[in-house]
Structure 1
Amino acid sequence: MNDRRMKKSYFNKAILLFELFRKHRIHGDDFAKAASKSAYLDEKVDEFRLLIAMGKDVFAGRYRMDKWNLSIIAATIAYVISPLDAVPDVIPLMGWVDDATIVAYAVSKLTDEINKYKAFIQASAA
């Protein structure tokens, strides 16, 4: 496959993924699917589980965050549970590298929100 056709193929796949994630609404089942897939994320497991917990607490009304930060969490969860990936999950090892990369990117964008959430959790436990 020549370089131009390969770029067009990736572009078309990116558009399809964008449309899928743009229309996706997170449900309770999505949180359960995400939790079950988290084990494949190696060193990003704890960070992804934290994002899941944050999303659950927002949807349950226990924690508030702005819509932009929530959209990052929702898109990250949707990407990880989606069968459509830049690198399909059925490819051993490599299939989860893109998911872990997306989680790392989301965590880097949500550093302040994660710190606020951790403080909220500590205050709630006290």
Structure 2
Amino acid sequence: MAIFNDRKAKQQLDREAGKVREQDVNELLEKQQAIEEKVRNSGKLMRFSSDIRLMFSMLRDYWQGNYRAVPWKSIAAIAGALVYVLNPLDVIPDLILGFGFIDDAGVVALCLTMVESDLLRYAAWKEHKEESWTSQP
């Protein structure tokens, strides 16, 4: 029997995403550095580091009103997953060596599956915006 499976990951993600309010996004953005540091120091989460940076970028552009072409459900799922990663005392406490980040990685992976198309659209929008910015005289 798996310690942490997709069903448990979905339950945790749904629980955290269900609690997210729009003003929570700003509070989460203030904790970006702490979450990214946790990801860097975790073997299980490190493979998601570029995805997590993209998630934070989309949350920041959403919060600032620069990018709103994303459903609230996706914003809440991303915020919920990141809040879950930040919590050291989740389903499998992060202090348990070798196993502590399995649940965090599972929740992030599930979130990425759920919001993949929204993140891809955002990444394309952001790339186009940056190209437009650099090509202006």
Q: Same fold (TM over 0.5)?
A: yes
- The answer to which structure has the higher helix fraction is 1
Task: Give the Cα separation in 1 of the matches to 2:63 and 2:37.
Answer: 19
TM superposition score normalised by structure 1: 0.76
Give the corresponding residue for 1:46: 50
Give the corresponding residue for 2:102: 97
Contact 2:20 2:76 in 1 (8 A): no
Contact 1:35 1:52 in 2 (8 A): no
Could you list the per-position Cα deviations for residues 17-60 of structure 1 after superposition, in whole angstroms to 9, with x for gaps in the alignment? x47x7267231322232222221212122222221221122112
Once superposed, which parts of structure 1, at least 4 consecutive aligned residues long, lie more than 4 Å away?
none
The amino acid that maps onto 1:38 is: V
Match of 1:55 among 48, 54, 59: 59
Give the corresponding residue for 1:120: 125
Task: Give the Cα separation in 2 of the matches to 1:84 and 1:36.
Answer: 17
Measured on the aligned residues, the alpha-carbon RMSD in Å equals: 2.5
SS of alignment partner, residue 102 of structure 2: helix
The amino acid that maps onto 1:107 is: L
Contact 1:76 1:102 in 2 (8 A): yes
The amino acid that maps onto 1:91 is: I
Q: Structure 1: where are the runs of 5+ without partners?
A: 1-13
Task: Give the Cα separation in 2 of the matches to 1:23 and 1:111.
Answer: 19
Task: Give the Cα separation in 2 of the matches to 1:93 and 1:124.
Answer: 41
Task: Give the Cα separation in 2 of the matches to 1:42 and 1:116.
Answer: 23
Task: Give the Cα separation in 2 of the matches to 1:58 and 1:34.
Answer: 19
Give the corresponding residue for 1:36: 37
Could you list the per-position Cα deviations for residues 78-110 of structure 1 after superposition, in whole angstroms to 9, with x for gaps in the alignment? 101112311001111211111111111001001
How many correspondences in the alignment? 112
Task: Give the Cα separation in 1 of the matches to 2:85 and 2:39.
Answer: 8
> Structure 1's 58 and 89: CA in aligned 2 closer, same or farther, altered over 3 A?
same
TM superposition score normalised by structure 2: 0.71
Task: Give the Cα separation in 2 of the matches to 1:87 and 1:58.
Answer: 31
